[in-house]
């Protein structure tokens, strides 16, 4: 049994996200938390997973986490590197990617993502990095996983800008727009696992991480939280999972520190 006393919420989130991936997945990886989760999966239970980054690197196996999609580590360890147009037209829009793994600055209950601006678009309080390839990932991958830390400023009743389309207004909104992929099927936070209701598509808590209460989940979420009829407890990290994550982070810190000198 792993000692949970020194496992951080971020570590729990990353490992829970990694577990959602399988050995057979072809995964379009976002930078940051999604990248950490995907590489932990590759280093533990899913060594055969194919990781694809937006810059065109296919089957990459980085020894450290990339700083951006343009990090040379991705190209150096990839099976092959293709042009960005080929990546999007042949791989993504061709339906060859099983999972798109995204982060979010703002998220609503239907899995719609904002990574563009906070506040009014023309006079924003904060201008965010933007969509990049995320809007296409959200509609073209067979399904989408989202990972983010819970906070009322991030999980909001109404996002300020629609960067990446989730389930829109809920229900069959995707289908009515002619989008035939599943959309967001899993939300992994530092407190819980959420899945969309089969009918309404509203994210519902299906599992809470060890030590987390319903009150804590609600107070860090900007909408009225729905809980599944039976809420499970997320299994704690194994020694293998925790070691893989921490060693990956340690290598990354050493490598990026050297780059900065």
How far apart, in whole angstroms, are the C-alpha atoms of residue 255 and residue 252? 5
Tell me the CATH number at 79: 3.40.1080.10
Backbone dihedral angles phi then psi of residue 232, each to the nearest 5 degrees:
-85, 170
Q: Look up residue 202 and give its two tokens.
A: 């509203």
What's the confidence (pLDDT) of residue 261? 35
What's the confidence (pLDDT) of residue 256? 83
**Mean pLDDT value across residues 45-59:** 95
Hey, is 158 helix, strand or coil?
coil
- Across 30-39, 70-79, 194-203, the highest mean pLDDT is recorded for 194-203
How far apart, in whole angstroms, are the C-alpha atoms of residue 62 and residue 79? 11
Total number of domains in the chain: 1
Structural domain that includes position 80: 4-260
Active site members = 54
Q: What's the angle, vertex CA 82, arms to CA 93 and CA 144, rounded to 5?
A: 40
pLDDT digits (tens, 9 = 90+) for 78-99: 999 999 999 999 999 999 999 9
| DSSP, res 164 | B
pLDDT band with cut points at 50, 70 and 90 for residue 2: low
């Amino acid at each position: 049994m792993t000692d949970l006393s020194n496992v951080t919420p971020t570590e729990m989130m990353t490992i829970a996200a990694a577990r959602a991936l399988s050995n057979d997945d072809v995964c379009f990886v976002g930078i940051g938390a999604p990248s950490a989760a995907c590489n932990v999966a590759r280093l533990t239970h899913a060594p055969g997973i194919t990781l694809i980054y937006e810059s065109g690197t296919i089957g990459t196996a980085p020894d450290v986490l990339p700083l951006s999609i343009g990090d040379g580590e991705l190209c150096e360890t990839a099976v092959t590197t293709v042009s960005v147009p080929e990546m999007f037209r042949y791989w993504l829009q061709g339906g060859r990617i099983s999972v798109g793994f995204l982060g979010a600055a703002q998220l609503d209950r239907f899995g719609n993502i904002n990574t563009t601006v906070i506040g009014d678009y023309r006079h924003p309080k904060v201008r965010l990095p933007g969509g990049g390839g995320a809007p296409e990932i959200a509609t073209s991958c067979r399904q989408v996983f989202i990972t983010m830390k819970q906070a009322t400023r991030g999980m909001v009743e109404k996002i300020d800008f629609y960067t990446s389309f989730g389930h829109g207004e809920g229900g069959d909104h995707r289908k009515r727009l002619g989008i035939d992929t599943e959309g967001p099927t899993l939300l992994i936070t530092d407190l819980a696992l959420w899945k969309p209701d089969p009918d309404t598509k509203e994210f519902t808590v299906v599992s809470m991480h060890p030590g987390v209460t319903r009150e804590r989940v609600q107070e860090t979420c900007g909408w009225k939280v729905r809980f599944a009829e039976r809420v499970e407890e997320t299994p704690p990290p194994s020694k293998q999972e925790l070691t893989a994550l921490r060693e990956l982070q340690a290598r990354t810190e050493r490598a990026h520190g050297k780059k900065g000198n």
